[in-house]
Amino acid sequence: MKQVVISGTGLYTPPFSISNEELVTCFNAYAERFNRDNAAAIASGAVSAIEASSVGFIEKASGIKSRYVMEKEGILDPARMVSRIPERGDDELSIQAEMAVAAARQALERAGRGAADIDMVLVACSNMQRAYPALAVEVQHALGIDGYGFDMNVACSSATFGIQTAVAAVKSGQARAVLVLNPEITSGHLNWRDRDSHFIFGDACTAIVVEAKETATSAHQFEIIETQLKTSFSNNIRNNFGFLNRFDEAGIGQPDKLFRQQGRKVFKDVCPMAAEMIKTTIAKAGLEVPQVSRYWLHQANLNMNLLISRMILGRDAEPLEAPVILDSYANTSSAGSIIAFHKHQDDMPAGALGVICSFGAGYSIGCVVLRKL
C-alpha cells in the first residue's frame, strides 16, 4: 500500500480584521437602540432586553481577540450587521473559489507542484455559497487542473475528513495528488446580533496538497501515518438554512437559519470525545502520547483546547505543544486546525510527530497523525 504525505499547505487571510473593541461598540449600539425602541414591551415583560456585550466577556468566554472577514463595514453598521458583498455574475470567479485559488497556489508552491500534477480537487468546508455547480470544479477550472473535483461538508471537521478522502484516493491509485481546500466565509452564517455568539467566527481559507510519498519532492513533507473519523448525531450545534426553507415562509429569516449552539452542552460533550479520539488514534498508529510533540487542534474555543490538551497529557500543554491561532483568527471552522498546522510546522525536526484534530457540528471528529520527514 502506498505511503502518503502532506507535501504543502497554503493560507489565504482576508484583508480586513475586526477587533473585539470594534465588535462590542457596534453590538452595544444595536442593543441600546433595540432596548430603547422596545422599552414598553420590555417593561411589560413581553420582550427581553438585550444585555450589553464587553471585551472582557468575549475574551473570557473564548480567548478570541480579533477575527478576519471578507468585508467589515456592513458588519460594523448597527443598522445592518451583515457584510456588504455584491453578487458576482455567473461568468466571474466566485468569492469562495477566489479564496481557494489563492490558498491553493501557495500550497502548490510549497509542495513544488503545478496544476499538471494534481488529479483531484476537493473543497471541504462548512458553508457553500451555492448548491451547484460544485465549487471544487470551479477551482479546478480556474487553476487549469485536468481531473475531477467535488465538494463535501462535515462542518468544522471538513478538513480532516477531506484529508482522509484524499489519502484513500492516492492509496487506491485514483489520484496521484489531491488538492484539499477549505474556504470558510463563516461570517455569513453568524448572527451578529446574538450576544452569546456574535464574536465566535472569522473568515479564512486553507489548502493542503496530499500525494504519494514515493513521488513527493517537497522540503515540507509530513507522512500521514494514521487517520480516524467519527460522527455522532447531535442538535447542539445547528443551522437550518437550506433550499427547502421557501416551503414554509414563516421560517424565512428566523434565527435558526443561522449558526446556533448550546455552548455548555457542546463543551461538556465534545471535550472528552475529542481527547479520547486523539488518544485512540495515536494508539492505533502504534505510538504513545509522550511521543507526540505537537497538537494542531480545532480553533473554536481556548478553554476547550486547554481542557482537551490536559485530558490527553495529564497536565497543561506548553504553548508550542498546542499552538493557538484563534486569538487573531477566531473560529474559522474547518480551516482552524489547518491554519495552526500551516503556521506552526516549519520549526519541527525530522521525525517529530504531531496530530491534527478537528471537532464540531454533527458531532464530527477527525484525527490525522503525522511524522515530519
Residues annotated as catalytic are: 156
Which among 299, 327, 297, 300 is positioned nearest to 310, based on CA atoms?
A: 297
Q: Which residues pair with 261 in a beta bridge?
A: 237
Alpha-carbon gap, residue 296 to 337, rounded angstroms: 5
Question: Which amino acid belongs to residue 306?
Answer: L
Q: Distances in Å between the alpha carbon of 131 and those of 242, 248, 252, 293?
A: 9, 19, 18, 40
Alpha-carbon gap, residue 185 to 88, rounded angstroms: 16
Alpha-carbon gap, residue 122 to 53, rounded angstroms: 39
- Dig out the grid coordinates for 133 from the structure: 455547480
Instruction: Please count the other Cβ atoms lying within 10 Å of the Cβ belonging to residue 248.
Output: 9
Q: Which residues pair with 354 in a beta bridge?
A: 294, 370
The 3-state DSSP class for residue 245 equals helix
Q: Could you tell me if 299 and 204 are in contact, meaning their C-beta atoms sit under 8 angstroms apart?
A: no
Range 48-83 burial, b when 16+ CB lie within 10 A, else e: eebeebeeebbeebbbbbbbbbbbbebbbebeebeb
